[in-house]
């Protein structure tokens, strides 16, 4: 195996400092493990944008709510390492919680983004994005990457991380990677493993409703709230509970208005044991 694994910050920093001194461009791909093809596409994109690719695996308890699945979240370290090695990832940073939060969780300094964090996914997962921005900031300080790759499936997360990097004057380029999908359009996700056999044939309903909404807008419809209500009805008719479905300004994530040209359509639904998210974007210019 060519993949080199680091558990400690000091060791990784020493390795990357030497490479940086040689003029190497470094990419970071933050993950929580349980890797699938979507994650590997992030690695491939990182390889195209840097000389050195550093993946991170850390199941960050700070971004999980009280009733969420932190303790049940799949840990598949051996399989993840094999996949990263096959994808030609150079380094894996795999810290434990003590390494990432040496003073404990309660007293941990937090990074709080001022906008876009209490709507959409943030409304149903209070504190989630505070956990994301905190751990991503820590990872950026540890790796000091020139570029970081995030999946577009987590569109709100990507938008918040971009805003955070700009606000905090971080010298890292943030790149969004296209959504990896199954043959029926279902966005690949670690949580897809929770979908039951009975639900799986209909699990692409969110993507289908997003596609329907995008088509209506492209055909000239501008009653965005009516489009959202129609999508809600489609999703509920398929037997799923809707979390949200929103046509937004692609940059601010505010509800879209008539003169917005760059739009993001975002949705989330609940299966019996999973919460699925997806999105599509369009440019009306």
* Residues involved in catalysis: 39
With beta carbons less than 8 A apart as the criterion, state whether 249 and 263 touch: yes
Nearest to 274 by CA among 192, 159, 186: 192
Give the burial class of 25: count Cβ atoms within 10 A of its Cβ; 0-12 exposed, 13-18 middle, 19 or more buried: middle
* Strand pairing report for 147-151 and 52-57: unpaired
Token output for 87: 């994808």
With beta carbons less than 8 A apart as the criterion, state whether 63 and 167 touch: no
CA-CA distance, 53 to 145, in Å (whole number)?
9
Q: What is the CA radius of gyration of the chain?
A: 19
Nearest to 194 by CA among 276, 273, 278, 76: 273
CA-CA distance, 160 to 107, in Å (whole number)?
23
């Amino acid at each position: 195996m060519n993949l080199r694994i680091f558990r400690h910050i000091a060791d990784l920093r020493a390795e990357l400092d030497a490479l940086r001194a040689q003029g190497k461009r470094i990419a970071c791909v933050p993950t929580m493990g349980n890797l699938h093809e979507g994650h590997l596409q992030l690695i491939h994109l990182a390889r195209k944008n840097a000389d050195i690719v550093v993946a991170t695996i850390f199941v960050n308890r700070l971004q999980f709510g009280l009733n969420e699945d932190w303790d049940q979240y799949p840990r598949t370290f051996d399989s993840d390492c094999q996949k990263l090695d096959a994808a030609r990832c150079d380094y894996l940073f795999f810290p434990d919680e003590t390494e990432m939060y040496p003073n404990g969780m309660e007293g941990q300094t937090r990074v709080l983004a001022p906008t876009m964090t209490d709507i959409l996914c943030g409304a149903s997962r209070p504190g989630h994005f505070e956990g994301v921005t905190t751990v991503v900031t820590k990872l950026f300080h540890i790796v000091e990457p020139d570029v970081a790759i995030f999946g577009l499936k987590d569109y709100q997360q990507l938008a918040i991380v971009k805003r955070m990097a700009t606000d905090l004057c971080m010298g890292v380029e943030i790149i969004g990677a296209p959504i990896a999908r199954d043959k029926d359009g279902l966005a690949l996700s670690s949580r897809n493993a929770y979908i039951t056999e009975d639900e799986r044939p209909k699990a692409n309903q969110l993507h289908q409703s997003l596609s329907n909404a995008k088509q209506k807008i492209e055909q000239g419809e501008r009653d965005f709230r009516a489009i959202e209500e129609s999508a809600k009805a489609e999703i509920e008719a398929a037997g799923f509970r809707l979390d949200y479905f929103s046509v937004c300004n692609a940059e601010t994530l505010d509800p879209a208005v008539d003169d917005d040209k760059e739009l993001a359509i975002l949705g989330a639904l609940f299966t019996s044991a999973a919460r699925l998210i997806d999105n599509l974007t369009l440019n009306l210019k």
